Amino acid sequence: MRRKTLFIAFICVYLVMTLGPVDNSWAQESSKVMSLKDCMEYAISNSTKTRIQQAASGDARIARRDAILQAFTPNLSGSTYAYYNFGRSIDPQTNTYFTQTSFHNSYSVSAGFDLFNGFQAVNNLKISKTGLAISESQEKQVEADICLAVMEAYYNVVYYKRLADIYEEQVGAAEMALKKAVRQEELGQKGHADVVQMEADLADRKYDLTNVRNSYKDQLMTLGDLMFWPPEEELVVDTNVRSFADARSFAGAQDDRRGAQDDRRGAQDDNSVILREQKATEESVIAFALENNPQIKIAEGTMLNAKRELSTTKGQLLPSLGLYAGWSTTYYTYQGAQTNPFRDQFRNNGGEYVEMSMSIPIWGKLQKQSRIAKQRNALTKATAEYDQKRRDVESEVRRAIQDRDGSEAAYDQARYKSEVQEEAYNLNLKKMEQGLISPLELQTATNNYLKSKADEMNSLYKYLIKDAVVKYFGGIEYINQ
């Protein structure tokens, strides 16, 4: 028995040394704490929208390749056939009829090249190039939309998680206060009504905590759906997000300039300079967005392709010119005839040809004219959509900058209110311990404190989102912020 145990132990040690340690990288990856950038990268890698757009980009690359081959390479084809004829036929050598069974075999190779086809090949090259650029811009736009949606869901998760932590602290504080009040009631230092009021306050805190936890789970599920996170795995989110000071971009630089200007100029001059600098910053972001934003690139490419489609359709009214060349040979034999062998006929019956053809359109029941009219309407539509998209993007940038500045001001007020309410809450808590105020007054102070904390966090995350949108329009992608 002992030898058997030692043998099994030896086998286990050998297997461990041979196979190495168990790879648990997958398990570690599944329990990894996901930052905002990690969530964005995971969502982009697994989203069906990304995969669909990548397939569309693949089609655009194939269309680009086909346009190049069509413009610079000829059409090549080869053919052969063989058949038996059991009826009456003509002897190719004597040009007389005969009725014997005959065998015929033919081989041919041909090539053709369009010398001129109404600039269709050139326009197709340009259209395919622009189409590929449009597809790449669409892919960037899809990634940006995914990142923004993930960012909003991520900050909602962080908001409810931190809010739940605050409510947990309040529940713990309310439980301790209730125990103390119960003891004070036993000693005759507090009335029963105060204890009941504190029990009601504790019940409210637990109820609010339950609702906040449910909201946290709901937002976490929303984030997981956006990321295509496996439902059987736990999604752990990093709640240590950037602070307000770290997130400030243009506003922080403006505040620094504002402080330096206050030392040199009067208040009226400072305001004029600050307004001019803010206006210059806004206009620079708008100019960059109108030049580089994927939405603008898509609309501009669509308009350019509409122009080229119209030019291609007009070119169909012009004559087309083509050059063709080919070679062919035949072999035949029939019963009772002395025909040359296959090798000799293959060589002697061979022939070549060179052909140049011109096709002139004369009357096509106005179909080409109708296509031209439709393409002209398509160009008008694409031009209008391009102008509208420029206006929309400009409005989005101005609104984003306004929302960011408004969120910054709201956060300053919310932070100040939170500090004041926290101080008031601590003072009322001490008064409650000393018996100077009623539990109802403490409950009011607590509600004001919780609301101020919620407003502070809400305004902070709203500012972070608005600031990220402005940076995106300014040229910094969401995933790189």
Segment 386-396, tens digit of pLDDT: 999 999 999 99
Residue 397 predicted with pLDDT over 90: yes
Please state the rounded mean pLDDT for residues 259-286: 57
Binning pLDDT at 50, 70 and 90, where does residue 368 land? confident
Residue 331 parent element (H or E): strand 320-334
Report d(CA 440, CA 447) in Å as an integer: 11
Helices 48-72, 36-46: inter-axial angle, 10-degree rounding: 50
Residue 2 predicted with pLDDT over 50: no
Per-residue confidence (pLDDT) for residue 293, from 0 to 100: 95
Residue 59 predicted with pLDDT over 60: yes
Q: Hey, what are 334's tokens?
A: 């029939």
Residue 7 predicted with pLDDT over 50: no
pTM: 0.76
Question: What residue type is 186 in one-letter code?
Answer: E
Binning pLDDT at 50, 70 and 90, where does residue 85 land? confident
Residue 222 predicted with pLDDT over 90: yes
Report d(CA 301, CA 99) in Å as an integer: 67
Name 176's Cβ contacts closer than 8 Å, sequence gap at least 6: none
Report d(CA 133, CA 130) in Å as an integer: 5
Residue 43 predicted with pLDDT over 50: yes
Name 74's Cβ contacts closer than 8 Å, sequence gap at least 6: 111, 112, 113
Most confident listed range (261-275, 371-385, 448-462): 371-385
Q: What percent of the chain has pLDDT over 90?
A: 53
Report d(CA 383, CA 99) in Å as an integer: 71
Please state the rounded mean pLDDT for residues 152-160: 95
DSSP string covering 95-141 = --EE-S-EEEEEEEEEEEEEEESTTHHHHHHHHHHHHHHHHHHHHHH
Per-residue confidence (pLDDT) for residue 447, from 0 to 100: 86
Binning pLDDT at 50, 70 and 90, where does residue 425 land? confident
Please state the rounded mean pLDDT for residues 68-88: 90
Residue 5 predicted with pLDDT over 70: no
Greater pLDDT, 242 or 445: 445
Name 15's Cβ contacts closer than 8 Å, sequence gap at least 6: none
Per-residue confidence (pLDDT) for residue 98, from 0 to 100: 77
The pairing of beta strand 89-90 with beta strand 351-359: unpaired
The pairing of beta strand 236-237 with beta strand 33-34: parallel
Binning pLDDT at 50, 70 and 90, where does residue 244 land? low
What 3-state DSSP class applies to 76?
Answer: strand
Report d(CA 21, CA 27) in Å as an integer: 14
Please state the rounded mean pLDDT for residues 33-62: 93
Greater pLDDT, 250 or 177: 177
Report d(CA 60, CA 63) in Å as an integer: 5
Report d(CA 366, CA 158) in Å as an integer: 64
Residue 12 predicted with pLDDT over 50: no
b/e code 74-92 from CB counts within 10 Å (16+ = b): eeeeeeeeeeeeeeebeee
Q: What percent of the chain has pLDDT over 70?
A: 85
The pairing of beta strand 97-98 with beta strand 89-90: antiparallel
Report d(CA 320, CA 264) in Å as an integer: 75
The model's pLDDT over 273-330, given as tens digits with 9 standing for 90+, comes to 545 555 558 889 999 999 999 999 999 999 999 999 999 999 888 999 999 999 999 9
Domain ranges for the chain = 33-73+122-155+244-318+367-480, 81-116+323-360
Alpha carbon 43 to its chain centroid, in Å, reads: 9
Domain 33-73+122-155+244-318+367-480 fold = Outer membrane efflux proteins (OEP) (1.20.1600)
Q: Hey, what are 219's tokens?
A: 């937002």
Task: Provide the greatest CA pair distance for the chain.
Answer: 138
Ranking 11-15, 105-109, 434-438 by mean pLDDT, the lowest is 11-15
Write down the mean pLDDT value for the chain: 84
